[in-house]
């Protein structure tokens, strides 16, 4: 049994007109202990809303959520709110892009960590304080003993992100969800923070659901990848498989638009057009308006995510040909 199983997850919001905003349209994924699954997609593809629905932090209403989210086989979507908060609060840690918004500006870092440990773990004041220092040290903040007395604004962006990671792992969750954890940081700091997350994941054996728009990050840290487009997973594969040759034209476009050292002189490819408006998804394959391989079937019929050999899956009518073309 997978640690975390998401099945046919759908999320919509009331739209500006009469049509709802269909942010997530039937996402299924499974996360195994100790593995890193990257959700890769352009801005607006429904990655964050998927994470928020898994975490149970969407307000319903206005959001409408259906499908299934199971942790160790236990359904979370139908749990009463209090139980749900307890399960996801203790078993799923979450790191967001914006640490400043996630941290409380009026409490010191030590106070925030201690409070969490006292409330959720029942630690004494002194044990919680000691553990808070350990956690700040664990995320490699120098002079942890002194720094726990500082407020979030007294840290740099990268250091704040480390503090959010400390908070997310404080209760030793089985799953860590990191939603674009390094997007707001300088490039050099990005790599260090990503390496820290990967290292903690390896040491603790927790499962990591890593949300990113950056194929470079996927290549560095993920085991498996789920490519998202217009609220659906359009390709699921191991990282080796997808880099050897994608089985979906959208994934193909993403790969072709990735800067590579061995192709420095060539102009970078850009996928033409823009993602569809989730309040007005086109008929047929949602990628057909941008797809160089689109035909009449594509314009008429929505391709379901369908299995391919070696555990991969692709939501493309021409998935078999794509695999064949690149001889895999
Ligand atoms: N609270 C909300 N209310 C209405 N629409 C939303 C809300 N949150 C997200 N959306 C819409 O859902 C779609 C997917 O958003 P999101 O999951 O944040 O994309 P991503 O994280 O992939 O960039 C977008 O069109 C976004 O505008
Ligand atoms: S189903 Fe058709 S339009 Fe959609 S990705 Fe495949 S080839 Fe392109
Ligand atoms: Mg997002």
Is residue 87 situated within a structural domain? Answer: no
pLDDT of 191-212, one tens digit each?
888 888 988 998 888 999 999 9
- Of residues 233 and 271, more confidence is placed in 233
Per-residue pLDDT, averaged over 127-144, amounts to 94
Is residue 318 situated within a structural domain? Answer: yes
Angle at CA of residue 185, ends 181 and 186, nearest 5°: 145
Is residue 138 situated within a structural domain? Answer: no
**Number of structural domains, the chain?**
1
CA 260 to ligand 2 centroid distance, Å:
26
CB-ligand 1 contact for 51 (6 Å cutoff): no
pLDDT of 43-77, one tens digit each?
999 999 999 999 999 988 899 999 999 999 999 99
What is the percent of the chain where pLDDT is above 70? 97
User: Residue 137's beta-bridge partner residues?
Assistant: none
CB-ligand 1 contact for 21 (6 Å cutoff): yes
Identify the domain containing residue 328 by its residue range: 244-328
Q: Band the pLDDT of 264: cuts 50, 70, 90.
A: low
List the residue whose alpha carbon is closest to atom 17 of ligand 1. Answer: 46
The CA-based dihedral angle spanning residues 59, 60, 64, 68, taken in that order and rounded to the nearest 10 degrees: 90
Q: How many CA atoms lie within 13 A of 102 on its CB side?
A: 21
Is residue 109 situated within a structural domain? Answer: no
d(CA 325, CA 321): 6
Look at residue 168 in the predicted model and tell me its pLDDT.
92
Strands 64-71 and 4-13: antiparallel
Q: Which residues surround ligand 3, an ion (CB under 5 A)?
A: 48
Runs of H (alpha helix) within the chain:
47-55, 81-91, 99-102, 109-121, 125-138, 144-147, 157-169, 187-204, 215-221, 239-244, 249-256, 296-300, 319-325
Is residue 159 situated within a structural domain? Answer: no
Is residue 188 situated within a structural domain? Answer: no
Q: How many CA atoms lie within 13 A of 83 on its CB side?
A: 7
Look at residue 328 in the predicted model and tell me its pLDDT.
45
Q: Is the pLDDT of residue 294 over 70?
A: yes
Is residue 283 situated within a structural domain? Answer: yes
Is residue 302 situated within a structural domain? Answer: yes
d(CA 165, CA 319): 38
């Amino acid at each position: 049994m997978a640690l975390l199983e998401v099945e046919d997850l759908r999320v919509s919001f009331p739209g500006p007109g009469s049509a709802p905003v269909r942010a997530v349209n039937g996402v299924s994924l499974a996360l195994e202990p100790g593995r890193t699954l990257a959700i890769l997609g352009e801005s607006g593809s429904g990655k964050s809303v998927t994470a928020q629905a898994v975490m149970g932090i969407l307000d319903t209403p206005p959001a409408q959520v259906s499908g299934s989210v199971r942790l160790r086989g236990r359904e979370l979507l139908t749990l009463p709110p209090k139980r749900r908060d307890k399960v996801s609060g203790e078993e799923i840690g979450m790191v967001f892009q914006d640490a400043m918004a996630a941290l409380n500006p009026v409490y010191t870092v030590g106070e925030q960590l201690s409070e969490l440990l006292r409330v959720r773990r029942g630690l004494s004041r002194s044990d919680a304080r000691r553990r808070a220092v350990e956690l700040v040290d664990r995320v490699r903040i120098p002079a942890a003993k002194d720094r726990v007395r500082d407020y979030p604004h007294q840290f740099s962006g990268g250091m704040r992100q480390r503090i959010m990671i400390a908070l997310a792992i404080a209760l030793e969750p089985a799953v860590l969800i990191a939603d674009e954890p390094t997007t707001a940081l300088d490039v050099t700091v990005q790599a260090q923070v990503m390496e820290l997350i990967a290292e903690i994941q390896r040491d603790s054996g927790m499962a990591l659901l890593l949300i990113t728009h950056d194929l470079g990050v996927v290549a560095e840290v993920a085991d498996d990848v789920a490519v998202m487009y217009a609220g659906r997973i359009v390709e699921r594969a191991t990282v080796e498989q997808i880099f050897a040759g994608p089985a979906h034209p959208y994934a193909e476009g993403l790969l072709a638009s990735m800067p590579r050292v061995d192709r420095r002189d060539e102009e970078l490819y850009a996928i033409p057009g823009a993602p569809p408006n989730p309040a007005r998804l086109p008929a047929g394959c949602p990628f057909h308006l941008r797809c160089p391989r689109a035909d009449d079937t594509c314009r008429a019929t929505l391709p379901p995510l369908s299995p391919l050999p070696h555990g991969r899956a692709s939501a493309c009518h021409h998935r078999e040909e794509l695999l064949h073309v690149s001889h895999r």
